Structure formats: C-alpha cells, structure tokens
Amino acid sequence: MKRVKKIEHLCIIGVGLIGGSFARAVRQADLVNHITGCGRNIDNLKKALELGVIDDYSQDIREAVKEADLIFIATPVGSFKSILSQIKDSMKDGAIITDGGSTKTSVIEAAKAVFNEVPENFVPGHPIAGTENSGVEASFATLYQDHRVILTPLKQTKPEAVEYITQLWESIGAQVVIMDAHHHDLVLAATSHLPHLLAFSLVNTLTTLDEKQEIFENAAGGFRDFTRIASSDPSMWQDICLANKDALLEHLDLFSSDLKQLRSALQQGDGDFLKQIFTRAKHSRDDLSAKNSD
C-alpha cells in the first residue's frame, strides 16, 4: 500500500473516544507532525495534552483550525451546524474536513445550510467502531484496526480528498467502504441505532420495577452483553436518534410489529412459531459470525 502523505497539522474537534483514538492512531503510525485539540471541556483537553494525545489545545474553535491541513470533527451530530458555521471563515485554503458522525444525511444537510453546498474538500465519514466508554482517557490507538469506516462523499467531493482520507484510514488499519449517505443511515438505523434504543429502553424499564436491585444483581451474561451499550453517552445518542429519526422509526415500526407477533405466539402457547423465529435468528447470527471470522 502506498504510504499516505503525512499530515502537517491536524485539528481534532472533540477529543473523546473517537477523536482521541484517531489522534493516537495517526501519531502511532507516524502520520502527523502536530495535533491541536478543541472542545468545550477544558479538563478533558488538559488530560489529552497530559496523555500526549494532542500537542496543544484551544477552546476557540476559529483559532484551533486556522493552521490545520486536516480537520476531524468528532462531536455529537447535533453540534455540526454550529461547528461548521464557526470554522467556515477560519480554515486554510485547501484544508480537508472529515468527521466521525454516526449519521450522514444530517451532517451533509448541516454543511449545505452553512456553505450553501457541501464543500469539495469535505469527506463525510463514519468509523464503525467504539465502546460504551467516553472521554479521552477511553481512547486507544488500535480502536479502528480491522473495523470498517464508511465514507459518503458527494458528486462534488474532490476525488483527491476522498483518496487521501481513504488512504489515511487504511494506514491505521481500517477497511474503507464508500456508500450513499441515505443508504448509510438506513443501514446504521437497523444495525446500531435501533439496538442502542432498545438497550436504553430495556434498562430503563427494569429500573422502574420494585425488584430492580435483585434483577440487576442476578443478571446473567446475556443481559450484560445486550445492555452494555446502555452505558453509552446519553447526549450523543439523543442527537443520533433525532438526526436519523425517519430511518429509525421505519425499523422501530417493523420491530414493534414482529414483537407483537412474538407476544401473540407466547400468549397462545405457539411453540412452533417461537422455535421458527429462534431458529431463523440463530442461523442468521451464526452466518454473520462465520463471515466475520473468515
């Protein structure tokens, strides 16, 4: 693989798990000379500096981006319009913008609202990686290795910018996929956003029960595995769900319909139907596991 050109000056807006891990990864791969961090939490920025994740920081976003050759936005998607508005007249000519937002249509709409059209050097992206933890202390350099990164460039996006961001991700071990933004949101609504919504909802439901302490104390591995993601950042997931509400509602309605069928089968003692659903689900899950292990 051709070695990607080193980033002279990188600005990370939002130095948490996603932004911090990106900074650690490109530094470990010797792909950057200088990293500036930007964010609202001064203690988090100080910790990032202390850990060597960034070289300096500024809470003035215009100051933070003015020397950057690459700007990586890793904040909740609801903040993108405000961020893009602030950096619009402060960026260097030719600076590339990319991001780690979990929804792409809303990010593109935010860019259109600020710039009138999506800038040709803006490459929307979404790394399909993460943990339930947040903050720069949760970041690590290998987060993206062997994980997919979906890029959703538009027709006007410069091919050179797409190629550069692709090579950058690949250089830190990620597998890059190019996808239409609308299709991305539909797929992620099913595979990520709906599971998070369900995990939050289940834990919230059980929290209201009188026996909640006993329930949580006796929780088996399946409960812990499924609800682990309910420890994720509530503010971030509020933004994601609202930004992708149309696609999420479509999948939620489908799931609700299937859940009603399961309830009916359970009420009627229809074991054959239950076994049919369980068997189909098991085969699908086993096939997925087999493909991922290849």
- Mean pLDDT (the chain) is 92
Q: Are 196 and 188 in contact (CB under 8 A)?
A: no
Over 60: is that where the pLDDT of 5 sits?
A: yes
Strand-strand pairing, 122-123 and 96-99? parallel
Q: Would you call 273 helix, strand, or coil by DSSP? A: helix
In angstroms, the CA 190 to CA 247 distance is 8
Compute the CA torsion angle 133, 134, 138, 142 (nearest 10 deg).
Answer: 80
Domain that residue 220 falls in:
184-293
In angstroms, the CA 99 to CA 12 distance is 9
Q: Structure tokens of 35?
A: 């990293």
Domain boundary among 179, 198, 222: 179
- CATH number, domain with residue 227: 1.10.3660.10
Within-domain flag for 1: no
Over 70: is that where the pLDDT of 140 sits?
A: yes
DSSP string, 167-188: HHHHHTT-EEEE--HHHHHHHH
Please indicate, yes or no, whether residues 233 and 216 belong to a single structural domain of this protein.
yes
Threshold 0.85, pTM exceeds: yes
Domain boundary among 148, 179, 210: 179
Please indicate, yes or no, whether residues 172 and 42 belong to a single structural domain of this protein.
yes
pLDDT at residue 12, rounded to an integer: 98
Over 80: is that where the pLDDT of 213 sits?
A: no
Residue with tokens 């929290």: 207
CB proximity list for 5: less than 8 A, separation 6 or greater: 164
The proportion of the chain whose per-residue pLDDT surpasses 90, expressed as a percent, equals: 80
Over 80: is that where the pLDDT of 37 sits?
A: yes
Within-domain flag for 259: yes
Please indicate, yes or no, whether residues 175 and 193 belong to a single structural domain of this protein.
no
Domain boundary among 125, 150, 179: 179
Rg (CA), the chain: 21
Over 70: is that where the pLDDT of 1 sits?
A: no
Q: Structure tokens of 37?
A: 């961090």
Interior CA angle at 103 toward 30 and 79, to 5°?
80
Q: What does the longest C-alpha to C-alpha distance in the chain come to?
A: 67
Please indicate, yes or no, whether residues 101 and 148 belong to a single structural domain of this protein.
yes
Beta bridge pairs of residue 126: 150
Within-domain flag for 2: no
Letter string b/e over residues 25-61, b meaning 16 or more CB atoms within 10 A of that residue's CB: bbbebebbeebbbbbeeeebbebbbeeebbbebbeeb
Please indicate, yes or no, whether residues 144 and 277 belong to a single structural domain of this protein.
no
Q: Are 119 and 97 in contact (CB under 8 A)?
A: yes
Residue with tokens 């930004």: 243
Q: 42-79: per-residue pLDDT in tens?
A: 999 999 999 999 999 999 999 999 999 999 999 999 99
Indicate the range of 97-101, 126-130, 145-149, 165-169 predicted with least confidence: 126-130
In angstroms, the CA 113 to CA 164 distance is 25
